[in-house]
A and B are shown apart, each in its own frame.
Chain A
Amino acid sequence: MYALERIGASYELSDNADVIRSAERIIFPGVGEASTAMKSLRENGLDKVIPTLKQPFLGTCVGMQLLCQSSEENNTECLGVFDIPILKFPRVKGFKVPQTGWNNITADQSNPLLKGLRESEYVYYNHGYYAPLCDYTVAKTDYILEYSAMLQRDNFFAAQFHSEISGDVGEQIFKNFLEI
């Protein structure tokens, strides 16, 4: 929210389906655990609403994971906007999980969300689960293995990192989102 205020965007925090349907753009942030988050979406009926939305939609962190088909975090059935599973990082010596800190994305600069960014930029991560590379991948990161840093399908955009605390790069992504 502070990130939106910094770039002068007005916003409303809501879990109301009508408010969300009529919004110009939607940001779907997330921290926490997948099954609990899905449960609260179902309680509000938002699990049916979200996949039908047509306006620009940006899911971040757990918000991105919920947009996928399923998550290995407590074997959760998710929203299915992206028909890929969310997987747990394998245990490999020398790599702490969750990944915590700044890592670089290698990005498709032609994507409207990545306008004005360099091919490689640093963003802030904190996650123990990842989206594998797939047809929707528009940016990737390497930690233990290469995974999807960002996804896009039609009006749905998603980023695994925390854009709101990813410095000027994160701020540029939000600005770009407001222009889509």
Chain B
Amino acid sequence: MALSGFFLLFFLLQHLTINFISVISVDGFNATSHFMGTNPIVQIALQPVLAFGVIFHLMMGMRLELQNRASRPIKYAMNKPAENSSWMSRNMIITGIMIFLFLGMHFYDFWIPELNVKYLQGDMSGLIDPMNPDSGMRYWEELHHKFHDPIRTGLYVLSFVFLGLHLMHGFQSAFQSVGFNHRKYTPTIKKLSNIYAIVVPLGFILVAVYHFMTQS
């Protein structure tokens, strides 16, 4: 869990960076997206690693949850878990499932259409109209158009809130799981964990809201 978690923490930073380019520069976002979408190293080598990382993290999480549920067949009649642990730490499976459901929506919105254009239609040009080289690149336009719908934008924002809750425990927990707990450094890691869990999802939210607010 921790190793795949570290990998996904790194991936999120990379994803956020590219998303932010869409706010700063249309051409920059188009160029970056085209590179990521057509580069053979990214597509053939890195994308399967990412898919494996996500699936592995999900499967291990589900396995742990099932084992942990079986370890206490009779529940307490009176229990006060809030007295000794955070809501985020106790509900990683709930926030994790919400993120997984979000991924389904996210893939439906972006990944599946992308696979359709590139690999089923065979259009690797990245152009709005593949027959017209002057039609401009399609990536920024597609992204921008997706966020015209307030419900979709709202669902994205809500999902990023769940992501933040998941990260708030997951970041620091990953360090503990790999055996890194140090009296000098762990307090800093916990602070970093909170900063990462707020800044990264907030960044994703700002990008989504920016595109929603700038619809013409």
Is chain B a partner of chain A in the same complex? no
Interfacial residues, chain A to chain B (CB-CB below 8 A): none
